[in-house]
Structures are given as structure tokens and as C-alpha cells.
Amino acid sequence: MSGESVKLYVYDLSNGLARQMSMSLTGRQIDGIWHTAVVLYGHEFYYGQGILSSPPGTTHLGPPLEVIDMGETYLPEEVVVEYIDSQRSVFTAEKYHLLDFNCNTFSNSLCQFLTGRNIPQHISDLPADFLNTPFGQSIRPMIEGMFGQSRLAPPQEQQPPTGAGATPTLAQQNILRDISSAALSAAPQPADNQPSPLQTAPNLSQLRQWIQSYKAVVVFFTSATCPPCRTIKPDFERLVQDKNNSSSTKIKLMGVTVDTGIAFDAAQNFGIRATPTFMLFHNGDKFSEFRGASYAELESSVNLLLFTAYPPHPHRKIHQLRCVLDLPNKPVLYNTPGKVEMIYNKLKSFLDQDGIKLSEQDQNILEQSKKVVLNSSIPIDMGQWSSFIDTMLVKLPLDHQFPLLDIFRTLFATKIASEHYLNNCSQLVRIIENGYKQENVPKATLLMTLRVACNLFAHNILVTTYFTSTLPAATESRASLTQLLVSSLLSNDSQVRQTAASLAFNCSTVVADERLKKEKEDGYLEGMAEQEDDDWQIEIISAIMDDLSKETDEEVIHRLLAAIAKFLFLAPTQSSSIADLLSALEIKDMLDAKKTDKIITTSKVSSLAREVLLLVESSVSLA
């Protein structure tokens, strides 16, 4: 009796980064962050979002890095499938842990059952080896924050390096997220890494997997001897392709073909007695069914399924939102250099007045910064520049800092500057805090501080990581940005309030951009969910409304209304309190009074005000 070959497919979740960077980060060579799968009977079985399977080598990870022969099994396919099904309650998505209970745990268990052999020890021991390094200990809190506490005890003989346990750098966070996402990813994909919305299920187990893995699934039961099946098949495949956004990385509608002559267990389970039969599923539950090769019925059934699975946001049903929809999705930036010579001469005159003598290195970096301000492609030593700024923030009086900040906000808009502050934004926080921590901050200094804050939004990763999210790394920095915004909106100076209104608008664009991405992905969130924070948005909206109630400058009113509109539009219907707050603060009466008092006079502002009220009314009615 011949046996079935059992193969272990080995992948590197770090895509080579571990081999390149492990020595410098951990002090030891780690050749890969290993993910494994077990292949037999034409299926690749693996663990992530539960136990999954796909045709060998067709997952999102592409071809395996290594294939290890684990021997043979003499168990028939149906026994193997039955055993794997019995393990689904053990290897659930909720129990997955990157260190303790992962894909390699499953592969080892399955290989023991099939062949009596364990997977290679260097794979199964990797989590303990990784944690037994200073870098592993420093990043352990972040892993446990994602997956829960690890059962792997911290090493006794080795103390973490200085700073271990602190918030990991952005680069470390991104690498860990990429590895975690790859480890948990469930959808089998072609080797080009693009999802395929058309799949074939050769048995009941595979069909169940597809049905449970996607929000909307249409199953086409066919047979080789069915002429109507051959007729409708091209239309079925085209319809599924058309319903999936070609620019999206997510599958909106999964189409699964089942040949009843091959997957007889699937046909029997679902009671298929004639082909073609179409069954539609929503969130794993049967939604509808019909028989026959009617394309009109197929299309209408699919449309109803998709409308149920992905209902449009109620705001999309409001047709009079032209002004809201026309608002720019880009932040307001202040990155155009001013009168460069005059600004540098002003800074030098302040240095002379304050008796500040620059070292040769400081003089050189200041001259170099002028070249960069005039030509952003010229390189600059950001370490020296940052050190120079630290020195000047200490030595220059607050009322003499505005030319320095004017230079800083222009240079900060360059790519090299943003990359420098990705790993440490403490200097940016210090500059922001100077704008509100002291009483009577001079107007020129406050304006330049606000412009620096606005220019943060030129760098999406920087701002969404440190200044607008609920990530631990953003706790202090976001609070500082918010305090600067709130205090500036209450200023008696119209120019300060106008710049603060731009900062409020920039904050709202981050939230709005994330919602649009989520909508584009049909409910699958792309980007950082931490931007959607109701408490933070309420704090900003409260300050905006305080300013709006007293504001007489129509340009400031327009920017404030634009920020409100961005915060409101497509807000989560169940969790957002913004509309309720605006209604409680009687925004309608406030805006009506401004029209009556001739404060709002232009059609641009009055139309936006009307649309904001439509959004408030619509959102409140949904609560």
C-alpha cells in the first residue's frame, strides 16, 4: 500500500529582513521569521484566522522558501480531513499568538498525527530564541499588546538593554505589524500577491472555508454534463470580476465553482439535485438560492446580496452635499519659503541682541539650512540641525524664536527632515508646547508654531503615528497638538484663529481620509484605525464650536465649518457622538443668527453651512 507524501512548506514572514537586520538588532543571526504549512492530498493546510487550506503555493506568501519532506502517511484523505475539522475548535483565530500558539504549533501537531515526526527544532524554537535577546525583550510588550501575554518566561540571565520596554520605534512597529498581518492573513491568493475572487472548491471542507472566510459568497454548482452550466459560466465569472474593485486589495464578492461530480460531499451536504444551482451566502449563512441559467436572476440576486453585505453609509443618500464633497482632501500646508534673506538676517540680529555666539559647526549648519530652504534637493545633516534647534530653543527668548521657527517649518516640509523625526518626535513636541505652555506667547512666535504644526500633516506616517492616533507612542504628542489647537482657537487675534482653523481642518482630513479608504474597501479598514477616536474628535469639535459662536471673520468660519464637515461625513453611525454634540450646542440657531446678522454673506459659506446642518440632522436621526 503506497503512502501519501507529506511536505512542510516553509516561508519567511520578514521577506528577508530578518537575515539582513537580525545581527544588528539582536546580536545573533536569525535567518527568517518562519511560517509553515503542511501539504498533502493537493492541499496546503495552515493556521492563521483559524485552520485554512488552499492549493499548494497559492497563498499570499507566494512560493515557499523551502520544502521539507516529512515522510508519508497511510491515512486516507477523508480521515485526514475529518481530523483537521476536529481541530478547528482548538486552533481558532482568537487563540492565535505570534509567540505561543501559531502556525508552527499547528504544523507540528499535524505532522505528528500524520507521520509521527516533529517539524525542525530551529523553527519551533524561534520564539524563545528571539525573546532571549535584548531586542526581543524590548519589543515583547508590543507583541503582548497585540496578542496577549506570552507564556514564554523572560530570560533570567539577561537584562534588557537601557530603554528596553519603551515604546518601539516606528520602523520596529511597522515590521512587527507586517509580520503579524502576514502570519494572520487568511485569504489564499495567486503567487503575484493579488487576490483572486474566483475559486474552485474540490470538496466540502474547502467550500466551507470559502463560505466562512468572506462576507459575500456566491457558489456555482455545476457539472461536466450540463450544457446550461457551460453557457452561464462565462457570465458568472465576469459578474464576479465586475463586482470586485480592481484597485482594491480586498475581495468584495467571492465566487466559488463546485463541480458536483468531483465535490460529491459538498453537493450532498447542500442538497443539490440539479445544475446549475446558485447559492448565495452572507457572513457564512445561506442568503438565497435559485436554479437555472438565468443571468438576470443571478445578477439581481448578487446585487441584493452585496447591498445587504455592504449597505451604503446613510450620508451617501443625501444628494445635496456638493460643497462637502468638493472640500479638498489635502491638508493646509505652509511650506512656501518667505523672504529668505530677511528671515536669516532677522535671526542673526536676535542672536546678536541676546549675546548668543554660534560655534563653527552651528554657523555651518545654519548656512546649510539656507541652501536647503532655497533648494529642497540639497542634503543636510539632520543630526546637527536637530542639535542646533535644541540649543536655540533654550537660548533664544520666546519672542525672538519666530524667525528660527519660520526656517524650521520650511525645512521640515522636506522628505529628509520628516524621515529624521519618524524615530523621535520629542523636538516637535517641544516646539508645539512652546506655543501654549507660557502665558502671552508673542503673536509672531505663535503663528510660526501653528504653521509648524500644520506642516506635520505633510508627512502622513509621522502625523498618523504620533499626533492623531491612540497608539501608546502618541499619548504625549497628540495631547500637546490638541492643546495648542484648542488654546489658539480661543485667541483674540483673527490671524491666529485662522491658522488654528487650518490646523483643525488638517486634523479632520486625517479622519476623513481613513473613512474614505474604509468605504473604498467596502468595510475592510485600510490604514490606522487609531485615527477614529470619538473622544479626541469631540474635544476638537467643542473648541471649534466655542470659536464659531463668537467668530465674525467669514474666512475663519468657512475653515471651521469645513473641519466640522470632515469630522461628520461618513462618521460611524453607532459610535460617533459628534452630531449629538453639535445639535446640543444648537449649531442651527448659531448659523442662522450669523446669516441674519450678515456675518455669513457669501454663497460659499452659506451653502457649506446648510450642508453641515443636513449632515447633523441625518446623523442625529440615525441615533
- Catalytic residue IDs: 35, 103
At residue 338, φ and ψ (nearest 5 deg) are -85, -150
Spatial neighbors of 163 by CB under 8 A, at least 6 apart, are 138
Residue 9 C-alpha from the chain's centroid: 29
Closest CA to 567 of 601, 595, 591, 533: 533
- Bond into 276 cis (ω within 30): yes
Give, to the nearest 10 degrees, the angle between helix 475-489 and helix 426-433: 20
Closest CA to 88 of 109, 59, 71, 72: 109
298 with 272: CB under 8 angstroms?
Answer: no
The CA-atom distances, in angstroms, between 123 and each of 45, 142, 176, 463 are: 17, 22, 18, 37
Using DSSP bridges, classify how beta strands 254-259 and 216-222 pair: parallel, antiparallel or unpaired: parallel
What is the DSSP secondary-structure string of 251-279? -SSEEEEEETTT-HHHHHHTT--SSSEEE
Number of H helices, E strands in the chain: 27, 10
The CA-atom distances, in angstroms, between 252 and each of 243, 467, 481 are: 7, 32, 38
Alpha carbon distance 501, 496 (integer Å): 9
Spatial neighbors of 480 by CB under 8 A, at least 6 apart, are 429, 432, 433
Beta bridge partners, 7, equal 39, 69
DSSP 97: B
Closest CA to 170 of 182, 178, 160: 178
